[in-house]
């Protein structure tokens, strides 16, 4: 029988009434003849509460115990959903990560899934089990300790089960009805996409669109898992939501699929750095060691053997970054005349696989921004994405202008 993975996020299982609604939705798929694997998150707010308790108890916590505590929210929802399914006459049981087992690395709080054996479920389905309810976000290390996969990790649990079981599809039920061309809170013209390519979703997810955990999209792309994002609050037909799929499964699409943004970015410039081999390594090595997530990097043309180096980073890492480069200067590994930090910038990006075959996307983007009088501070491009750094006060305006110029309100 075909297998289907259904994943329900925190708001979809926030209380017993909602879990009952989830059980009904699962029942519909069982009635269609699927063997269903349901992956659940903790009730919304629960994981934050658990993280808070750990921090309050022990600021320098043992990461293994952190995982033991924060993974527990999912155990509750998995058990409750299995109980309600049983009440409804559906043969169901819950599974914690270690029982499957979901084998992961030992990187506590950011573990990676290594393997999900399927024999266990195969046997139970063969005996008549209809639904396996899996606690998302958790696994077990080779040392036998409970691990978690990083915040938002139950998306990744769901995709990994879909890949391991070669499920027909992986449906991600959430509180929005799909993936939008941009955040509808920024422009009412934002439109739900029927389909989006893995590559585009990956860029959008890592550029700030928070619908799916980035790693879940990476995994779906690697194993060609058809992912559908849809709302658990609306009654839906078979083609509701947004299908995240291979490029070949999209007939015709806009050149630009969506506009993404990261509101709180910062820009740092080292003025007059010696331009010699090894200087970039000498700057970005210490930044990486300090845990600074550098994103865009621009090096000016050198004059008189000196150059300016500009890079972007999250706003809350500016102090750490400044300390790292000043210490590198004190160790005489680098030398610069001045350091300027601009903490009032945002990153706005347009993403689309159509860019590969269409020239002029950058020109249209820059034209639209200039028509609004928005100054571009830094630009980076990749094959399917163009990102700019601009003053934060223009972020909404920029997103709206780009959404308009690329005609994203129309399919
Ligand atoms: N409950 C976990 C979190 O809040 C995992 C998830 O919901 O995906 O991050
Ligand atoms: Mg989530």
DSSP state of 33: T
Query: What pTM did the predictor assign?
Result: 0.86
CA of 172 to the centre of ligand 2 (A): 9
Q: Is the CB of 349 under 6 A from ligand 1?
A: no
Q: Which whole number is the average pLDDT over 267-290?
A: 93
Alpha-carbon distance of 239 to 193, in angstroms, equals 12
Asked whether the predicted pLDDT for residue 208 surpasses 70, the reply is no
Q: Which whole number is the average pLDDT over 214-222?
A: 95
Q: Compute, in degrees rounded to 10, the torsion defined by CA atoms 72, 209, 39, 81.
A: 70
Q: Is the CB of 41 under 6 A from ligand 1?
A: yes
Question: Which ligand has its closest atom nearest to the C-alpha of 213?
Answer: 2
Question: Which ligand has its closest atom nearest to the C-alpha of 158?
Answer: 1
Per the listing, tokens 């350091």 go with 339
Range of weakest confidence among 24-28, 40-44, 76-80, 250-254: 250-254
Q: Which whole number is the average pLDDT over 389-409?
A: 97
Question: Which ligand has its closest atom nearest to the C-alpha of 149?
Answer: 1
pLDDT confidence of residue 238 = 67
**Ligand 1 pocket test: which of 39, 40, 41 has the largest number of ligand atoms within 8 Å of its C-beta?**
41
pLDDT confidence of residue 337 = 95
Q: What tokens does 72 get?
A: 């527990």
pLDDT in tens, 348-368: 999 999 998 888 999 999 999
Alpha-carbon distance of 124 to 117, in angstroms, equals 13
Binned at pLDDT 50, 70 and 90, residue 235 comes out as: low
CA of 149 to the centre of ligand 1 (A): 9
The number of angstroms, rounded, from the C-alpha of 140 to the middle of its chain's C-alpha atoms is: 22
**Which of the pair, 366 or 236, is modelled with greater confidence?**
366
**Ligand 1 pocket test: which of 7, 8, 9, 10 has the largest number of ligand atoms within 8 Å of its C-beta?**
10
Q: Is the CB of 97 under 6 A from ligand 1?
A: no
Q: Which whole number is the average pLDDT over 24-45?
A: 97
Closest atom, ligand 1, to C-alpha of 152:
8
Question: Is 347 part of any known ligand binding site?
Answer: no
Domain annotation for the chain: domains and CATH numbers: 3-175 (3.40.1160.10), 259-405 (3.30.2130.10)
Asked whether the predicted pLDDT for residue 7 surpasses 70, the reply is yes
pLDDT confidence of residue 239 = 72
Q: pLDDT averaged over the chain?
A: 94
pLDDT confidence of residue 348 = 97
pLDDT confidence of residue 321 = 96
Which residues, 6+ apart, have CB-to-CB distance to 139 below 8 Å?
Answer: 97, 98, 101, 102, 103, 104, 111, 113, 146, 147, 148, 149
CA of 153 to the centre of ligand 1 (A): 6
pLDDT confidence of residue 142 = 98
pLDDT confidence of residue 275 = 85
Residue with the smallest CA separation from ligand 1 atom 9 is: 151
> Residue 139 — φ and ψ, nearest 5°?
-155, -160
Q: Which whole number is the average pLDDT over 182-190?
A: 93
Asked whether the predicted pLDDT for residue 209 surpasses 80, the reply is no
Alpha-carbon distance of 300 to 382, in angstroms, equals 19
> Residue 176 — φ and ψ, nearest 5°?
-120, 160
Q: Is the CB of 174 under 6 A from ligand 1?
A: no
**Ligand 1 pocket test: which of 71, 136, 148 has the largest number of ligand atoms within 8 Å of its C-beta?**
136
CA of 378 to the centre of ligand 1 (A): 34
Residue 271's alpha-carbon distances to 162, 201, 289, 310, 338, in angstroms, are: 50, 36, 22, 8, 5
Alpha-carbon distance of 22 to 173, in angstroms, equals 9
Q: Compute, in degrees rounded to 10, the torsion defined by CA atoms 210, 76, 230, 386.
A: 20
Q: What does the chain come to in residues?
A: 411
CA dihedral for 167, 352, 215, 262, sign (positive or negative): negative
Asked whether the predicted pLDDT for residue 276 surpasses 80, the reply is yes
Closest atom, ligand 1, to C-alpha of 155:
8
Which residues, 6+ apart, have CB-to-CB distance to 58 below 8 Å?
Answer: 65
């Amino acid at each position: 029988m075909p297998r289907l993975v259904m994943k329900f996020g925190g708001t979809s299982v926030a209380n017993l009434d909602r879990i009952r609604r989830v059980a009904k939705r699962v029942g519909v798929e069982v009635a269609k003849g699927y063997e269903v694997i349901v992956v659940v998150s903790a009730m919304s707010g629960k994981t934050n509460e658990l993280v808070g308790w750990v921090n309050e108890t022990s600021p320098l916590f043992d990461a293994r115990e952190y995982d033991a505590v924060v993974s527990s929210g999912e155990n509750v929802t998995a058990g409750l959903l299995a109980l309600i399914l049983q009440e409804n006459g559906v043969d169901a049981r819950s599974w914690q990560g270690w029982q499957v087992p979901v084998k992961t690395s030992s990187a506590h709080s950011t573990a990676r899934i290594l393997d999900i054996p399927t024999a266990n479920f195969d046997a139970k389905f063969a005996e008549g089990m209809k639904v396996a309810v899996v606690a998302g976000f958790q696994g077990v290390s080779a040392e036998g300790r409970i691990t978690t996969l990083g915040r938002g990790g139950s998306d990744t649990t769901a995709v990994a089960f879909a890949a391991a079981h070669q499920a027909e599809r992986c449906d991600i039920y959430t509180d929005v009805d799909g993936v939008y061309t941009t955040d509808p809170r920024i422009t009412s013209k934002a439109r739900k996409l029927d389909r989006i390519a893995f590559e585009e979703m990956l860029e959008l997810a890592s550029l700030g669109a928070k619908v799916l955990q980035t790693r879940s999209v990476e995994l779906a792309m690697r194993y060609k898992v058809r992912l559908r994002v849809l709302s658990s609050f609306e009654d839906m037909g078979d083609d509701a939501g947004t299908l995240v799929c291979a490029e070949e499964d999209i007939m015709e699409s806009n050149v630009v699929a969506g506009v993404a943004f990261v509101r709180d970015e910062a820009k740092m410039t080292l003025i007059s750095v010696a331009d010699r081999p090894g200087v970039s390594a000498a700057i970005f090595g210490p930044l990486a060691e300090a845990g600074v997530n550098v994103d865009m990097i621009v090096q000016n043309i050198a004059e008189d053997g000196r150059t300016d180096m500009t890079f972007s980073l999250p706003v809350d890492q500016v102090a750490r970054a400044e300390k790292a480069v000043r210490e590198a200067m004190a160790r005489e590994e680098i030398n610069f005349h001045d350091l300027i930090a601009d903490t009032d910038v945002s990153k706005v990006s347009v993403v689309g696989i159509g860019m590969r075959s269409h020239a002029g996307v950058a020109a249209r983007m820059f034209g639209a921004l200039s028509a609004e009088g928005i100054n571009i501070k830094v630009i980076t491009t990749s094959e399917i994405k163009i990102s700019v750094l601009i003053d934060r006060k223009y972020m909404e305006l920029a997103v709206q202008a780009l959404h308009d110029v690329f005609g994203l309100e129309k399919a």
